[in-house]
Amino acid sequence: MTKFGPSGNCDRFYAEGYEHTEEAAYFVRENGLDCFEYSFGRGIRMTEKKAESIRAAFEKEGVEISVHAPYFINFANPDDEMAAKSYGYVLDSARMLRAMGGTRLVFHPATQGKDERSVAVDRTCDRLRILRDYIYLNDLQDLIYCPETMGKVAQIGTIEEIVRFCEIDSIFTPCVDFGHVNAREQGSLKTVQDYLDRLSYMIDSLGYERMKNFHVHFSKIQYGAKGEIRHLTFQDTVFGPEFEPLAEALCRLKLEPYIVSESDGTQADDAIAMKRMYENILPR
């Protein structure tokens, strides 16, 4: 089943008097949504006890939780010591994710830096193979690791690069941030066919089974010549992308991803809007 939910707590969550992540489970379900993404973007500062408490709340409400690993991850870093920290960020996020009762971990793979693109991408591949080995050594291979498509040209993470990373091992499943793809490609996502082309390529490369429940981030994003500038809300009418053509493409290809809204402050309401659009397209 396709799932919809917010990334983090939206402005309305706080306006309605909620504060804690445990309450997000209730809030998400009350709003007719299905999942929630917790961000360790600025670091992993959570006790096991808090993770257990979050797990209990999300289990009670039947809401699926995923995590976003720290933004500092960079598997293309030429410095091996810095890269070693990146393994730690993923492994620590994975342990917390398991304690929280979730199965999906999203991470930003790398930044190009001063190297040529192909050198940085090859290095990222080598490091992701090492990461894979660490994940198995630590018995964390039952979780799903989602490298994300990125919105800035200087970041590693085109759809083709993400597919290459996922070909390394079945523990990897793509996180496609369509707002990022659209921003990086100067507004390339407009028609149903634009989405069908990219999704068909991913299915052909990774197989339907892996793509069936892939991970999606969706928001409208302002962009310039270097790609992503900032996340917007569904109020935007200039930058896009629009969700309806994606919903149509997902239905045609029988894909049932987890769709997380990363709108700026209106994540839950925009996730509700996407769920409605999707249900209007679903064949009855």
Q: What residue ranges bind Zn ion (CB under 5 A)?
A: 148
Work out the burial of residue 229: count CB atoms within 10 Å of its CB; fewer than 13 is exposed, 13-18 middle, 19 or more buried.
middle
The residue among 57 and 184 lying less far from Zn ion, judged by its C-beta, is 184
Smallest CA-to-CA distance from 109 within 71, 137, 135, 144 is with: 71
Q: How far apart are CB 152 and Zn ion at their closest, in Å? A: 12
The answer to whether 109 touches 124, Cβ cutoff 8 Å, is: yes
The residue among 103 and 200 lying less far from Zn ion, judged by its C-beta, is 103
Q: How far apart are CB 94 and Zn ion at their closest, in Å? A: 16
Bond prior to 241 in cis (omega within 30° of 0): yes
The residue among 73 and 202 lying less far from Zn ion, judged by its C-beta, is 73
The residue among 37 and 64 lying less far from Zn ion, judged by its C-beta, is 37
CA–CA distances in Å: residue 125 to residues 119, 130, 147, 157: 10, 9, 12, 12
The residue among 148 and 194 lying less far from Zn ion, judged by its C-beta, is 148
- SS3 percent helix, strand, coil of the chain, rounded to 5, is 45, 20, 35
> Could you tell me where the DSSP H helices lie in the chain?
11-15, 21-30, 48-61, 80-99, 117-137, 159-166, 178-184, 192-206, 208-212, 244-253, 267-281
The answer to whether 48 touches 92, Cβ cutoff 8 Å, is: no
How many alpha carbons lie under 13 Å from residue 56 in its C-beta half-sphere? 6
Q: How far apart are CB 279 and Zn ion at their closest, in Å? A: 26
The residue among 148 and 248 lying less far from Zn ion, judged by its C-beta, is 148
Q: How far apart are CB 84 and Zn ion at their closest, in Å? A: 22
Pairwise CA distance, residues 153 & 243, whole Å: 23
Q: How far apart are CB 273 and Zn ion at their closest, in Å? A: 21
Q: How far apart are CB 193 and Zn ion at their closest, in Å? A: 26
Which residue number is nearest to Zn ion in terms of Cβ?
A: 148
The residue among 109 and 240 lying less far from Zn ion, judged by its C-beta, is 109
Q: How far apart are CB 30 and Zn ion at their closest, in Å? A: 26
Position 89, amino acid: Y
